[in-house]
Amino acid sequence: MSEIQLLVDFHQAGERQGPGSPEETRKALALIGFDEKEYLKAADIGCGTGAQTITLAQQINGHITAIDLFPEFLERLDQRARELGLSNKITTRKQSMDELQFGEGELDLIWSEGAIYNIGFETGIKQWRRFLKTGGYLAVSELSWISGSRPAELEQYWQEAYPEIDTVSNKIGALERNGYTPVAHFILPPYCWIDHYFRPMQQRFPQFLEQHNYADAVKAFIENEQQEIRMYEQYKDYYSYGFYIARKG
């Protein structure tokens, strides 16, 4: 099994595939302050198994196109939507986030939690802007430094894993440079990482290992995930996801 297949196989059983929580999704939506009567056309990019898609669908009057590269994740989202009676508000679409097929100015809202890093924050916000109406909103969470300085070991780890990690002020600057008006931002608190992402993963590790007969590739995959958890536990005062909300100016 390839590394990608392992990753999909492991993460499809998860409630979510990155840090976040229903509370933070609702908070970001509340900061936009849509009129409840307004019918919204939204996209959730890199939706995974759709934790935030479901929360959004429960909150907004409108329709969400949920996009991900992996059909296994989308099937889970479809199943959840059916169980919750939300299928009429969510359409899943297998597509790459750098080849989105929306019309110019088609969307009132582009949502993306913990996913834009796959094409890079600045590339993503640039490419996606044309799909938003003038006055439409972007709500995106992105790995960010939350302190002015940081230990060298940590800096090196993230420079290798995601060199576009940057300070909150530089992320806001990127939004301004690319035709957005920043509206609000906040930082995901530790429970979004620990309770909603890392602990559920750790609970699934033993069964995943057993299921794959303790194969070396699976052990290496799990060790990699554990390393990410250890880094966060040690250095959580220095980085998190920033949730950035901006309007197309």
Residue 149 CB neighbours (<10 A)? 7
Say whether residue 124 binds ligand SAM (CB under 6 A): no
Q: Which of 114, 124, 136, 242 binds ligand SAM (CB under 6 A)?
A: 114
Give the burial class of 60: count Cβ atoms within 10 A of its Cβ; 0-12 exposed, 13-18 middle, 19 or more buried: buried
Residue in this structure with the two tokens 């602990």, named with its chain if needed = 199
Q: How far apart are CA 25 and CA 202, in angstroms?
A: 23
User: Closest separation between CB of residue 37 and ligand SAM, Å?
Assistant: 28
Q: How far is CA 121 from CA 8, 14, 78, in A?
A: 23, 24, 27
Nearest-angstrom CA–CA distance, 201 and 83: 23
| Residue 10 or 153 with smaller CB distance to ligand SAM | 10
Q: Is 76 in the site for ligand SAM (CB under 6 A)?
A: no
Residues 17 to 46: which contact ligand SAM by CB under 6 A? 17-18, 20, 46
6 near ligand SAM, judged by CB under 6 A = no
Contact flag: residue 70 with ligand SAM (CB under 6 A): yes
Is position 68 an interface residue for ligand SAM (rule: CB under 6 A)? yes
Residues that bind ligand SAM (CB under 6 A): 16-18, 20, 46-48, 51-52, 67-70, 73, 96-97, 113-115, 118
